[in-house]
Each structure stands twice: as structure tokens, then as C-alpha cells.
Chain A
Amino acid sequence: MNPEALKHLMAAILAEQPESADAGMALDEARLQRALSEAEPLSAAEQHLLWTSPEARRRLTMLWDSQRAAQYLAWQRAGITPQIAYLAAADAAVQPVTIDTHPHFTLKLFPLDTDGKLWTIYCKLSDTAHQTLLTGIRLVDSGGLQWLAGPVDVDGELSADWTHPETPLQRLHRYELRVEPL
């Protein structure tokens, strides 16, 4: 089934939900803000409320858009661009790769086996990028695949294991990388 069409269907189903003036009041801006910053994740009941209250979802969307826009603005003011220029060779060997073409985001790809199926992806932020951080970040390629996502730790680092059937080098041969606010 077409995943984009499935998203449209889901949006139509959510749009069918009844509006109510009071529904979703428990998820006010302050509560959603704490959840977005990962200081206090939503409980199961709150997650259910978010899925069932159009009002709460509207509040979240506005907050999410504002927060991400504020992060992009902070990066612009600090001269940080989201694109990471790097193109892997088609026949790149399975070995650790360091991508240090961006002044603020350094990526390291570590193979965990000789076949190049298992990898760990590691991202280190410069002090400037770390100091301007308002949200978590995610690393995505221009093919739409998310490589990393989450809050950056106190050392300005973020890492995760690779879970995609294609290797990161195969992706880097075809796609470009960019960092986005989460």
C-alpha cells in the first residue's frame, strides 16, 4: 500500500474526530513543551488524548513548528547550514568513515561486521552548534531515510545503530545528508 496515501487516509480519519471546547485541555502548551524537550514524556493516557483531541494536536503542531523554526533561525544566525556535503564512492570499502566536511557536524560511521551490514552512526556537534541547540536533532538523507534522531547529550554527541537493509555507504553514494531540528 502506498505509504503517502496511507498518511492521507490517517489524516482524514483524524479530521473526522469530533471537536470539543474542553477536550485536550490537560495537554496545555507547558505540558507539551516538557514532552517535546523530553523532560517529561507523555504518559499512555496523555498519548491517547493527543491522538483523540484535534485541539491538543493543533496546539502541538503550532508549538512544534515554532520550536523548529526557532532552531533553524538560531542556526542561520550562527552561520550553520543544515546540509552536509559528502558523496561516497560506489565501491567504497567496509571500513570506518569520518565525514568532517561540515564545520559544525562531524559524522563517524563504524562497521560492526566485515560484511558491512551492521554499523554504528555517531554525530558530534561543534561547541557553537551545541550552544545554539533548542531541540533534539535528526540526521536524514535526501531519500527520506532517518539515520539518527533524538536529544544530543551533554558532550554534544548523538549515536545510534544502523537498521536499514542498505549500507550507509550505499546511501551516501546516492543521497545527501542534512541535519534538521527534531
Chain B
Amino acid sequence: MQDERDLYRVQWPTLRRHLYHLCLERHGSVLLDALCASGTPACDLQTAVDAWRQSVLGELAQRARSTAAWPGWAALMPLFGDSEHLYGALAQQADVICQADTSDKMGVLWNVLKEYFTACRDRLDGASPTRLQVWRRIDRIRHELQRQRQRQSLGECQDLAELVAHVLSVIEQRALKDAPTTVEGVLAYFYEFDPAYTEPYDEELHGLEAVEALTRSDWQRDLERCLAVLPADLRQAVEVSFVLRPQPVFRTDEEFQRHYGCSPRTMRDRAARALQRLREAMSL
């Protein structure tokens, strides 16, 4: 059984990915439509938030109840517990969310929710404040390395493993107090705090290379084959949502609708349906 500390720290990117999926992809339209009813923030924000939260928690409870349920589902539920903080965070950013470009709305909303969930997680597991301080020192070491590489015209170091090795050797040289002393220890900090892992799917994206190294699957060809047989509207939704081909940028929902013949919400729903179909169709 995984303990909560492991779930809230080492597996935080996974929890965050599921939060994104549930809060935005599955139920986000409920919140966005209520939050920005006519392009401006709704007066009764609490009712909108409560309805959305209830639908997310309902689905979470169902997942957590099943036999051999993944313990992460249960660990996600308390993250919705701090109502006042959630109302406050959304109220403060409601204008920004509602005024964002159509294609950016979900991203802006996610940034607000992500910050709320992270703060809630820290309160729940009683995170030691030194953890954040240690991360700031690790981050400084990372920036020093990037500046040094820039001076040597080497380009930014994008290999997480190389970065971790460098951080660890600096920690050893400077004998930094409270800092991790193993590669696994330093890696745990990157998984937990590094902005590179805060976007949805980044965890799977990062792991793809490792899976490719151990398997002989030609997933690109398989995926393109499955894409080709999707109904045209679902295929278009995937192409737009994942920018598989260059797409225009729209300032308003109306412009979006005029160009694609459907609302951003419909496009998102279609993309979600398409993902499910692709998952079922692929012969991984």
C-alpha cells in the first residue's frame, strides 16, 4: 500500500494529471460555463463552484469505491476540502479567466486550480517548510549551470538525468545542509517542484522515451492509422486540440465558431471522445 507521503510527493505529477483530467477535461465546461456565463464572471460564483466540485467528487468517490481501486483516487478527495480558499482563488482570477482568449481559458483556469491544489496538498501532508527552501537551492544550482552552459555556447541542459547528476555533485562539493544525497532524493524534488512536470501529460511524455527503449512498438504508425479512421469531426478536434497541423489563433469564441463551425466547448468534448476512441483502437 502506498503511503500518502509517497502519493503527495513522488507521485504528485500523476495526481496532478488526474486532477487536470477530472477537473477540466471531464467537468471543466460546467465550471467555465457557469463562471463566465456571458463573458463576464458570474455573480453567484459559489453556486457554480459547488456544482462543479460536487460532480468531480461524485466521480472520484465512484472510482475510489471499486475493488482494488488505485489509492490515488482517495488521496485526491481531501484536496477539494478548503472551500473558502477555492472560492477566493477563483474569485480573484475570475476576470482573467473570463477575458482570456478562447484557446487560453482552460490554461488560465488550470493555473489557478493547480496553485490551489498544491497549497492544499502542502497543508494536508504537513510539508516541512524546509522542503521548499531546499528546492529553491536546487533551482539556483540549476540556473547557475544553465548560465554557465550559455557562456560556453552549449545550449540549455534539457536532460533531467544530467541536471540531477550536476545538482548532486554541487551538493556534495558545498556540503549543503538538509539537501538530498542520492540521485533518487534529488529526482524526487524535480518530480515534485520542477515546472517542467506541472503541465498535464508531461509525466507520460517524459516516460515515453523509456518505454520506447524497452519495447518494439511502432506507436506512431499505429496512432496515425487510428487517426485516419476516426470520423472527420473527431479527427479535426484532435488536430485542433493537439496542434497536429498549424492552427489559427482566435481572440473570441465567436471567431472560433465562425472558423470551425462549432463552439470551443463542443471541440473540447469531441477531442475527449476522440482520445477515448484512440485509446481503445490502438493495438499497443
B205: Cβ under 8 A from any A Cβ: yes
A155: Cβ under 8 A from any B Cβ: no
Q: A66-B184, A76-B166 are in contact. List 20 more A-B contacts (CB 8 A).
A: A5-B243, A6-B223, A8-B205, A9-B223, A9-B242, A10-B208, A10-B220, A13-B278, A15-B17, A15-B204, A16-B276, A16-B279, A35-B214, A41-B214, A58-B207, A60-B214, A68-B162, A69-B160, A70-B183, A72-B165
Chain B: interface secondary structure?
helix
Partner among B159, B211, B216, B220 whose Cβ is within 8 Å of the Cβ of A6? B220
25 inter-chain pairs at a CB distance below 8 angstroms, sorted by A residue, are A1-B224, A2-B243, A5-B242, A7-B205, A8-B205, A8-B242, A12-B204, A13-B223, A14-B208, A15-B17, A21-B71, A42-B215, A50-B211, A51-B217, A58-B14, A66-B187, A69-B165, A69-B183, A70-B165, A72-B165, A73-B168, A82-B162, A180-B159, A181-B161, A182-B213
Closest to A83 in B: B154
Q: Are the CB atoms of A51 and B215 closer together than 8 Å?
A: yes
The count of A-to-B residue pairs whose CB atoms sit within 8 angstroms is 162
Residue of B68, B70, B202 with most chain A CB atoms under a 10 A cut-off: B70
A interface residues, how many (CB within 8 angstroms): 55
Q: Are the CB atoms of A22 and B68 closer together than 8 Å?
A: yes
Query: A6 CA to B203 CA in the complex, in Å?
Result: 15
Q: Are the CB atoms of A66 and B210 closer together than 8 Å?
A: no
Closest to B242 in A: A9
B11: Cβ under 8 A from any A Cβ: yes
Q: Are the CB atoms of A21 and B211 closer together than 8 Å?
A: no
B206: Cβ under 8 A from any A Cβ: yes
B interface residues, how many (CB within 8 angstroms): 59
Q: Are the CB atoms of A9 and B187 closer together than 8 Å?
A: no
B175: Cβ under 8 A from any A Cβ: no
Q: Which chain A residues numbered 128 to 182 have a C-beta less than 8 Å away from chain B?
A: 142, 180-182
Q: Are the CB atoms of A13 and B279 closer together than 8 Å?
A: yes
Contact with A along B246-284 (1 / 0, CB 8 A): 000000000000000000000000000001101100101
Q: Are the CB atoms of B161 and A19 closer together than 8 Å?
A: no
Kindly list chain B residues whose C-beta atoms are within 8 Å of the C-beta of A52: 284
B69: Cβ under 8 A from any A Cβ: yes
Kindly list chain A residues whose C-beta atoms are within 8 Å of the C-beta of B209: 64
Query: A62 CA to B182 CA in the complex, in Å?
Result: 13
Contact with A along B149-182 (1 / 0, CB 8 A): 0000011000111101110110000000000000
